[in-house]
Amino acid sequence: MNATASLRRIGLPRLFLHLSVLLICLLWLIPTAGILVTSFREAGQITASGWWTALTGAAETSAARLADPSTAKQEGSNYVISGSVFEEGKSGTVRAFGTRVAAPTEYDAGEAADIGDGETLVINADGTYIYTKNAPFGDGRGKRVYLSIAQPPTFTLDNYRTVLTSQGIGQSFVNSLTVAVPATIIPILIAAFAAYALSWMEFPGRALIIALVVGLIVVPLQMALIPLLSMYNEIGNLFGLPSRSYAGIWLAHSAFGMPLAIYLLRNYIAGLPREIIESARVDGASDFEIFVKIILPLSFPALASFSIFQFLWTWNDLLVAMVFLGTGKDQLVLTGALNALLGSMGGKWEILTASAFITIIVPIIVFFALQRYLVRGLLAGSVKGG
């Protein structure tokens, strides 16, 4: 009865909302935890098992060779070869073994395996074995066996050392800051001026410009990338600017992010009380003074919200940086430098996961510095515009 009463007091819609938020948090938390655990694991254990088994160890399949037949000793009517499958100085726990590469875990540790031709083999968990035959062993090398060895859970900081000490990482970090900071500030400033003009100033073509801004939001980045680069190169040739420079990537990021910024800021600014603007105009304030002294302070939540998303995009960008900035050592951004560490096949998961957490350090700092304005800024589009 108490549970039923609590459920009625909370209400089904609110309970559904709480469960949905919990589900979203789990969908974000579980993969993130997996990436974090993987970033501290060795490459061999990553390929042998999943991150969810990191605390219980992993099973690694390997091959070993028994002692040569010349070491066999006769015990009654049988000939016996004994020893350890581990090399000197090494140890482990054998879970299973096999005599065929197609079935490396055919027998459990400690189980007597009937190989045929009067041969039996027992490999214990500690690696010791007894290889028995009812007739003398032939000449040649020792028999090859396959082992499933339990590896204890191990964690290492070598993955992070590899990433942080790689040549060029420091310069690429500076390059990313050089790209991301201006590429965040420039479109916000221009968009704020444009949003105020489209909200509170009457001029011919205003509705057409608003429609154009909305249309540019849906233009894919990949479609506009090459035309924008061609336009920049043509303009750069007139002023003697290089084809690949920081100025180019700042303008590219600004061009791609500005339509959405103008749209969001216009909705926010247009929803501000009209009485404030009219009172300022009656007092003789110019549009520039109204914008600087009234609009900008009141629009700070929307500006901070867009700043977070713009910075995250420019910081993690690789495509635009490669096209407009280049791939030289002095120009490569952090994402490009970390991508180069993965090799041509991109299979170094330990480097990939460690790189992921190194790249998110700065965005996390930016997010927590501005996160209190995030929700207020996201609701900018829901404000009734004028």
CATH number for the domain formed by residue range(s) 161-378: 1.10.3720.10
What's the pTM? 0.67
Q: Domain map of the chain by residue range? A: 19-56, 59-150, 161-378
Q: What tens-digit pLDDT sequence spans the chain (386 residues)?
A: 465 666 566 667 777 887 888 999 899 889 888 888 888 888 877 877 788 888 777 777 888 999 888 888 988 888 999 999 888 777 778 889 998 888 888 899 999 998 888 899 999 988 899 999 988 888 778 889 999 888 777 888 888 888 888 777 888 888 889 999 999 999 888 888 888 888 888 888 888 988 888 888 887 777 777 787 787 777 777 777 777 778 888 888 888 888 888 888 888 888 888 888 888 888 888 888 888 888 888 888 888 888 888 898 889 888 888 888 877 777 788 888 887 777 655 567 788 888 888 888 888 888 888 777 766 655 554 544 44
Q: Among 213, 314, 304, 205, which Cα is nearest to 266's?
A: 213
Q: What is the pLDDT of residue 385?
A: 44
